[in-house]
């Protein structure tokens, strides 16, 4: 697979989340499911080759040529010698899923996205392009011309599969250019919201995003690694346990809420800066799974004044068992159906907003302390954990024989744009 990027437009150097648009595009290519891609980037004649050390095994050849885009593209197709060539602009933001789709779908065609000055195109060519002179045309205009004359077929973006299992949501495929600081800011906001899960808890969805946004942008510009944020989260998580257990509620809640916000920051930062890793996933998801019962036990320990025989601490022990069973049910459901139990139907998405999870139980317990009924609210939290488990167990049994590759007809999965 050959890839040709026209980065002669200086807009390719505009920065989105701390990375130039050209670097972002190369990162997307390096992470796409392409078979040993050979990348040629065309730079302005007076521009030095950028130093991009974090592109994995991606081989990039820098080229400096002049003349109309059409002529340079025709030369790139000729050099490909019959091998498929993907052509893009350096200031385009291309959905990685579109690259994966193009890699699997043979033929010569073009996908066009964006509006006005932000309009851009991605071409897949397996033969020579028409030679009718169009000296002033940029790549999007060439694509439109080739589509109009029948030299290429169109790949509608809506035809590309849009479900993202990891985010439990549908997101239409995107392809657009960034032209100035205003469109850059709009692109950052779009990418930020595109990396939120389709089904998550109330606080992650509605309360934390402004704080996460304020943290992600500077951290991305400063090139802070997301694993560094995760390590801070781990320290805060562990610090909260003895603080809660000793009854230092204010300090414990400060650590807990800071960790809850950073738990959203590290994932967004990783995906927006192309720094997702197995280690990061293991640390982040491992922390999410392990720490909640430790916090619940610490709450009960603090309430019982360190009495393991007390009713409130015994309730915490039972809650831990139910919590583990609930996680097992969710895991079995994902294995069976290939998608999360929290996004299988619209009902499951709604329930995920309020089911027993750390970000729901934490404010509930805080309110219990504030109103002077911490033990009663803790028992309520335990009961809600049991109810959440029963609901999920029912979903597992109810949909066990449903088609694994498609959602059941009971309720349609909500589409998110």
**pLDDT confidence of residue 133:** 67
pLDDT tens for 28-40 read 998 888 877 889 9
pLDDT 10s digits, 54-81? 776 788 899 988 888 888 898 898 888 8
Model-level pTM? 0.89
Rg of the chain in Å (alpha carbons):
25
Res 95: pLDDT: 95
Euclidean distance between CA atoms 219 and 371, whole angstroms: 38
Q: Which domains does the chain have, with CATH numbers?
A: 2-163 (3.90.550.10), 195-398 (1.20.120.1760)
Q: Find out whether 214 and 129 touch, Cβ atoms under 8 Å.
A: no
> Is pLDDT above 60 for 408?
no
| CA within 13 Å, CB half, 98 | 28
Tell me what pLDDT residue 135 has.
Answer: 67
Q: Give one DSSP letter per residue of 275-308, joined into a string.
A: ---HHHHHHHHHHHHHHHHHHHHHHHHHHTTS-T
pLDDT, tens digit (0-9, with 9 covering 90-100), for 362-390 = 999 999 999 999 999 999 999 999 999 99
Q: What is the pLDDT of residues 299-323, one digit of tens each?
A: 999 999 999 999 999 999 999 999 9
Least reliable range by pLDDT among 79-93, 203-217, 362-376: 79-93
What band does 130 get if pLDDT is binned at 50, 70 and 90? low
* Residue 413: band (very low, low, confident or very high) from pLDDT cuts 50, 70, 90: very low
């Amino acid at each position: 697979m050959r890839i040709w990027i026209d980065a002669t437009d200086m807009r390719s150097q505009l920065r989105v989340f701390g990375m130039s648009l050209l670097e972002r595009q190369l990162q997307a290519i390096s992470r796409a499911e392409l078979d040993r891609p050979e990348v040629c980037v065309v730079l302005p004649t007076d521009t030095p080759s950028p130093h991009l050390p974090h592109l994995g095994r991606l081989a990039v050849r820098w080229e400096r040529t002049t003349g109309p885009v059409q002529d340079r593209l025709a030369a790139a197709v000729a050099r490909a010698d019959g091998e498929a060539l993907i052509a893009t602009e350096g200031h385009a933001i291309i959905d990685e899923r579109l690259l994966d789709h193009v890699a699997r779908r043979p033929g010569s065609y073009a996908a066009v996205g964006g509006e006005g000055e932000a309009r851009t195109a991605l071409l897949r060519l397996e033969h020579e392009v028409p030679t009718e002179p169009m000296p002033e045309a940029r790549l999007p205009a060439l694509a439109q011309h080739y589509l109009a004359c029948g030299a290429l077929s169109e790949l509608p973006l809506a035809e590309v599969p849009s479900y993202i299992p990891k985010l439990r949501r549908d997101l239409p495929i995107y392809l657009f250019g960034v032209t100035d600081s205003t469109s850059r800011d709009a692109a950052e906001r779009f990418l930020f919201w595109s990396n939120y899960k389709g089904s998550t808890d109330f606080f992650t969805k509605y309360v934390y995003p402004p704080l996460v946004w304020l943290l992600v942008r500077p951290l991305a510009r400063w090139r802070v690694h997301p694993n560094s944020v995760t390590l801070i989260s781990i320290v805060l998580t562990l610090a909260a346990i003895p603080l809660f257990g000793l009854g230092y509620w204010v300090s414990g809640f400060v650590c807990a809420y800071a960790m809850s916000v950073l738990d959203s920051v590290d994932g967004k930062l990783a995906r927006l800066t192309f720094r997702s890793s197995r280690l990061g996933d293991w640390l982040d998801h491992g922390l999410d799974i392990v720490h909640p019962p430790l916090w619940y036990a610490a709450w009960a320990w603090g309430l019982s004044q360190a009495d393991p025989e007390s009713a409130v601490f015994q309730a915490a022990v039972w809650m831990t068992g139910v919590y583990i069973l609930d996680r097992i049910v969710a895991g079995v459901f994902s294995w069976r159906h290939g998608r999360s139990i929290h996004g299988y139907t619209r009902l499951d998405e709604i329930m995920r907003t309020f089911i027993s999870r750390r970000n729901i139980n934490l404010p509930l317990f805080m309110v219990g302390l504030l109103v002077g009924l911490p033990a009663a609210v803790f028992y309520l939290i335990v009961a809600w954990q049991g109810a959440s488990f029963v609901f999920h167990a029912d979903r597992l049994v109810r949909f066990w024989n449903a088609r694994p590759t498609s959602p059941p007809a009971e309720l349609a999965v909500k589409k998110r744009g």
